[in-house]
Structure formats: structure tokens, C-alpha cells
Amino acid sequence: MTDPNQREIIVAILEEVLEEGKYSHLVLGATLEKYQYLSKQQRAFITRVTQGTIERLLQIDAILGQFVKKPKVPKMKPLIRTVLRSSVYQIVFMDGVPDAAVCNEAVRIVKNHGLGGLSGFVNGVLRNISRNKDSITYKDLSEAYSMPQWIIDAWEEQFGGETTKQILEELLEEKKTCIRVNTGNISVEELTKNLRAQGITVEPCEEIPYALYISGYDYLRGIPEFLAGDFYIQDFSSMMVAHSAGIQQGDHVIDVCAAPGGKSLHAAELLAGTGLVEARDLSDHKVSLLEENIRRMGLANIRAEKWDATILNEESIGQADVVICDAPCSGLGVVAKKPDIKYHMTKETQKELAILQRQILDVVCAYVKAGGTLMYSTCTISSQENEDNVTWFLEKHPDFSLETEKQFLPKAGKQDGFFLAKMKKR
């Protein structure tokens, strides 16, 4: 089998994401699945350039704007725009890639796609940037950290300028994969030993003893312990929800926005084979994701159900010891992992999401029995979706009281930004 050119693959992924509006983690995941026979180094290069180009898109376009007077980036042919963007990322942000090789490959791709007449333009732009990359400047934080200005403005109002700059820096740092050990199958120590024997870097998580950070692996489905259900990919932010909920053996837990199922499965494991977890979500696709993960983890005390969280389920009223409400949100805490989120989100959409979150909370709180717990969480760092919603909810539902509330800011390599509130029903 002839290996396809890595940079051709990168350009194809980026066109789907940046020109067609598809989600980067889905396109990249499907592509790596298709080309899983490529070497670890090749797959790592494809991942790094793809994610890096998307992550630093505004920064890259600002660089192109300094070296290209006409046409402006939005007016370029889509293929030319994509080739230039991915090439600039390699030239400016990847020290181990020879600039000449980047330029030559860009020209080759352009010619292969029938745009040879523009190959001189592409070559000239990239070689000019290569010669002058030490003189690149940025006019503001939006360009320097590739974050839309409206998000920066909101964070500066909420956190202040110094903390906002720290958040922007943390979001651009290298990420590790957080996993939750299935301690019913294997001990943390044994899994750590097994993974390290495969050349995988493993680090403990200080806050959660059964969580680990892994890096340096090639392909998840190439790890036998993953296929055996010995661990589950789950972010620290997601793990903290069930970890903090005070789940006791025998409890009835309802997770109202559950897919793909990390929190529900975590709750089921904490129940140690007792009680019941109802993992609900809106669509057949999401329920199928839940069912797939339930099967892989081999748990019997959990079931997946299709249900719209904004509609009251009469049979569930007063039935749950714990209700988990990880509501749909703007996702601005997870842009390190899903960088295209920051380009799709708008102020208007964020306001609509805050309204939806209130609608869901207003309904699902009825499922909590007296003395039970409502866990509200989001993967964003917007007070509009977090603290403001909790304040609104407690004023409308005085039978609930706030036990804990915390906003976690992004921490390089370790955690996304997220919010968690634990509320008790009297």
C-alpha cells in the first residue's frame, strides 16, 4: 500500500473543518481511523499540524496579512488559503520542520490540484515569511493568542486583564490525555506499569487517585487495556462531577445530558454494582454512543434512555438521590481540546445556551428526592452560564441550598476550564 502524503491529508482535513464547518475532533478522529496503518510519527505530525493550524488560525491569518497585500486571506481560493495556513503553522511554530521542505511541499500540493499558476505566489509568500519570521508582530491579544475579541472582552470583565492573559497562555500549551482507571478491572498501579511497558508516559492526578494523565501513545484502539475496558478517556473536569457528588452504594442516579457517558459510567462504578444509573440524552445517535460505552465497560447497573431534558418525565419525580446536569454550553473552557469552538460560538448563541440551561435545571430538579443532590456543571468559564444560572435557580427554587460552587480555570496540560455547583434539596 502506498502511503498518502501527510501534508495532503492535513490539507484535506483542514478544508473540511475550515471551509465546510465540520468539527475538527470528529474529522481528525475519522481520518486517523482511516489511516491507522501509518507510523506513530506520521500520525503525530498530522495531528499536530491540523490541531495547531486550527488553534492558531487568527494568529496565522494575522501573519499572512503582514506579508500578503492582495488578495486578503478571505478572498483567496480555498485550497491556496488552506495550504498557506498549514504551511505558516509549520514554519513559525514547528522548529523541527525545515522551512525549505514546507515551501516545496506547498508548491507540490498546489500544482497537484491544478493550480500551478499560483505556485509562484505560494512559494514567494512562504519563503518571505521564513526569512522574516523574527519580525512578526501582533496588534492585540486576539491576534497574539488566536482568540475572538468578544471572548477576550468578556473574560477581562469577569477575571481582569492579568488572569485573562494567563488563561490565553494556558489554552495554547500542550495537552495530555486524562483517563479514569476502571478499578473494578485493574489497579491504578498495575495499569500504570502496563502502559509504561508500552512506552506510554503516565502521570498521576493529585486530586483524584484513580485518574491518570497519559501521553506519547499512538492510537487508543491500539492499547489493549483500552479495548479491555481497563480505563476510560475522561477529562478531569468530567470526573470531578461524580467524584464530588457524594454517591453512595444503592443510590439512584439520573444523568440528564449524558452522552457520550463518562459521568454516567463513573457514577455506575462508584455504585460498585449496586443501585441504578439512568443515562439520558436527546437523540438516537447519542443514546447509541452511550450504549456502546456501557457495553465496553461491562457494567450492569446502568441503562441508556432517549429523553429530552427540557421535558418533564413524570415517572422520575422525586426518584433520584443524585441528578447530574452537565448542560449544553458554549464550551469555552475546552478550546484547548476542540479549538474550532471559539470560532463558531457567538454572543447570541451563548445567551441562548444560558436560557436553555435554565430550562433544563427548572425541569430536572423535580427528579431530586428530599435530601438528594443536584450537580450542575458546564465546560465553560462564563459567569452568564455558571454563577448567574445558579443564583437564578436558587432564587426560583428555595427548597435547594448551595453546598459548593467553584469555577476551575484552564491549567496547562492538566485540565480544561469548567464549572461545578453542588446543590442539596431540603
Question: Could you say which of 103, 205, 329, 379 is catalytic?
Answer: 379
- How many Cα atoms occupy the beta-carbon half-sphere of 301 within 13 Å? 18
Cβ count within 10 A of residue 69: 7
Helix (H) or strand (E) holding 371: strand 368-378
Helix (H) or strand (E) holding 162: helix 161-171
What is the chain's alpha carbon radius of gyration, rounded to the nearest angstrom?
23
Instruction: Return the closest-CA partner of residue 97 out of 128, 119, 130.
Output: 130
Note whether 241 and 420 are within 8 A (CB). yes
Helix (H, G, I), strand (E, B) or coil at 340: coil
Helix (H) or strand (E) holding 156: helix 149-159
DSSP summary character for residue 71: S
Note whether 342 and 335 are within 8 A (CB). yes
Q: How far is CA 192 from CA 175, 198, 261, 302, in A?
A: 19, 10, 24, 27
Preceding peptide of 209 cis, ω within 30°: no
Active site residue 379: yes
Active-site positions? 379
